[in-house]
Amino acid sequence: MSKPVLIRQHVESAPPGLLAEWLDSLALRYEVDRSWLGNPLPDPREYACVVSLGHDAGAYEAHVPAVAAELELLRQAVAADVPVLGLCFGGQALAAALGAKVERAPTPELGWHEIVTDDPRVVPPGPWLEWHYDRFVIPPGAAELARTAHASQAFRLGPHLGVQFHPEATVEIVAGWAAAEGVPEKAPTATPEQRAAARAAAFTLFNAFYAPADQIGRPFAPSAV
C-alpha cells in the first residue's frame, strides 16, 4: 500500500477544503495533522508528500514555536526528497525552508485574483482565492511560475511547489476569514459556474504537483504516488 499524504493544518479555520475533495476523488489516503495540538512532529519520510496549509502567523516569525516547528519539518522533508506542496503560509514556509526571504507584501491580496502564469498546465491563471499580507522571494535555484503586480504567486524547485494563493479554499472558508478579521465586505462570492471553474483549476494544480514532467496535463493516477 502506498504511503499516505500528510496535510499540516495550522489553524482550525483553514481546513484542507478542495484538497481533501481531490484526494477523496482519487481514493488517496491522507492524514490531517493539526499542528496547534502540539503533538510531536511527524517524520516526513513516512509520507508520500507533505502539504502545508495557511496560518495566522508569518513564516518569518521563527521565534514562534509553531512556526519554527513547521520550518524544521519542511527542511526535513526537503532533505529527504519528500515532495512539499506549500499553500499561502505553507508556500512562504517552504520558501523560507529553502533559504529565501519572506516579507510583508506592499499590498494585501484579498479575495479573487487573476495571476500571470508561465505554465497554465501547472498553475492556471485563475481567478484564485487569496488572503495574505506577506509574500515570499523565489528561493535560490527555483523557477518562478506565476506572479501578480504585488507578489510572486508560485515557484517550483524539483518536486516542491509553493503557491501564494489558496487553491484549497472555498468561498465559505474565505468568508470565515473575512468575518474573523472584521472585514465582511471583503468576503468573496461566486456563481455555481465560478465555483466549478475554481475547483477544476485547483484539481489541475494538485494533479500537476504529483505528475512527472512528461505527464503534466494528464489525469493523475493513484498508483503514481
Strands 152-157 and 143-147: antiparallel
**Alpha helices for 30-113 (secondary structure H):** 65-79, 89-97
Name the active-site residue from 49, 70, 88, 160: 88
Could you confirm whether 130 is annotated as catalytic? no
Task: Catalytic residue, from 10, 55, 113, 166: name it.
Answer: 166
Kind and range of the H or E run holding 86: strand 84-87
Neighbouring C-alpha atoms within 13 Å toward the C-beta of 191? 3
Any residues with CB less than 8 A from the CB of 216 and at least 6 apart, and which? 119, 121, 122, 208
3-state SS class at 190 = coil
Helices 18-25 and 192-210: crossing angle in degrees, nearest 10, is 60
Catalytic residue among 70, 109, 130, 168: 168
Is 168 part of the annotated catalytic residue set? yes
Which H, E and C letters describe 108-167, residue by residue?
EEEEEECCEECCCCCCCCCCEEEEEEEEECCCCCCEEEEECCCCEEEEEECCEEEECCCC
How many angstroms separate the CA atoms of 214 and 216, rounded? 6
| Whether 166 is catalytic | yes
Q: Which residues belong to the active site?
A: 88, 166, 168
